[in-house]
Amino acid sequence: VGGFGANANISFLDFDREYIAKNFDVVVVHVFYHCFCARQSIDQKYNPKLIPNQDDLERVNGILKNINLGHLSVNKDNFEQIIPLIEQKVNKMKQAGLVDESQKIELSCDFIPPNGDYQNYGIMAAIDHINALKDLVKRFPKFADLPKIYGGGSYGGYLSLLIAKIAPWYVDGVIDNSGVCLPFLACILGREMNQGEFYFEGSGYRLYCFVYKYWNRNMNSSYYFGDENYLIRAVLNSNHLQIQSNLNKNTIFVSYHSIQDMGAPVQNKIELYKCYQELGYDATLHLIKDENDIDGRFVKSLEHGLRMTDRALFRKELPLMLEKLQGRKSFMQENSISYPCGNKVFVFKDLEDKFELEMIN
């Protein structure tokens, strides 16, 4: 399951799939899920566009006047061409000693994924994986009884855990590296929080990017992100975990997480695995504690994601999980699961050859 940035170079995904399929007795699938292209790509087909909103443009025009480039005017079409001109001017000002060497001009813009996608965060992407599974089994019926394993790093790890929540009867194993247990609000309400999800930078500027989304905190809006929308995306929810375990207690979970992870608080993962174990799951959490746990090949750092590749993650954990799943039949049986969230109930269900979400008020 690809995380943020998996679209950067599609060839890497192809190499990883080929490597895993050749080395293990498995079928390997990457799903290009809803808003898969949430970061920059070398392939234009998968590359989002930088598009400023009106506030962004007004800010840039103000900056142009302040640095004596007032004869220029920025718009949506020339935004990317104006940035290098700003950087050149700032660097000249630094060389002349007019501004501090470390100073950077802060800019912002929307990051618009291709194909009309937008950041829904979690739910639509997770549903896409189940629909891809059902389509695969429809084309290749013999795949139906094979165990289903989902895994990835960071957002890919979170999605793997979320898939186990919304469709536990289609999940035999989860292999996670550093996935969050609670939704990362900057990815949902970035503009409203004035917190870019990531940034590009040069020597004279830093450009904060907000992946395009509809969610907001305006209670009168049909896109209001309420408590119920947060709760359904939370993997760490004791009531929901109980409901999940009632449908399938046989899922095997394994995670890696750094104690020093600043992007996904480790305490949440510790609590999640405590819940899994109390509910009777086979659940193993590998905590990466200090420099002694860095081997330079598998674990390369203590920061979020451990600088661990998906290939390395599967190379280590897939054989162990396959051994545990040996001989297990994983039947494709239609089912549904309902999660109460405040005054709404989220129902994830099979409907003929589709998997969908119904919200009941």
- Dump pLDDT digits (tens) for 229-238: 999 999 999 9
Nearest to 305 by CA among 255, 267, 353, 355: 255
Query: Mean pLDDT across the stretch 284-308?
Result: 95
Query: Mean pLDDT across the stretch 217-242?
Result: 97
Confidence of residue 248 (pLDDT cuts 50, 70, 90): very high
Max CA separation in the chain (angstroms) = 72
Say which amino acid occupies 243: I
pLDDT at res. 117: 96
Confidence of residue 188 (pLDDT cuts 50, 70, 90): very high
Residue 168: strand, helix, or coil: helix
Whole-number average pLDDT of the chain: 95
* Domains in the chain: ranges and CATH: 10-34+131-184+235-360 (3.40.50), 49-112+189-211 (no CATH)
Confidence of residue 327 (pLDDT cuts 50, 70, 90): confident
Sequence-distant (≥ 6) Cβ neighbours of residue 172 within 8 angstroms: 147, 148, 149, 250, 251, 252, 325, 328, 330
Sequence-distant (≥ 6) Cβ neighbours of residue 44 within 8 angstroms: none
> SS3 letters for 305-318?
CCCCCHHHHHHHHH
Sequence-distant (≥ 6) Cβ neighbours of residue 267 within 8 angstroms: none
Query: Does the pLDDT value for residue 328 go beyond 90?
Result: no
- pTM summary value: 0.94
8 Å CB contact between 14 and 108 = no
Please give the share of the chain, as a percent, with pLDDT higher than 70. 100
Per-position b or e across 72-81, b if 16+ CB within 10 A of its CB: eebebeebee
Q: Which tens digit of pLDDT belongs to each residue from 195-210?
A: 999 999 999 999 999 9
| Angle formed by the axes of helices 10-23 and 310-325, nearest 10° | 30
Structure tokens at 283: 């659940």
8 Å CB contact between 183 and 230 = yes
pLDDT at res. 331: 79
- Taking the C-alpha atoms of residue 307 and residue 300, their distance in angstroms, rounded to an integer, is 5
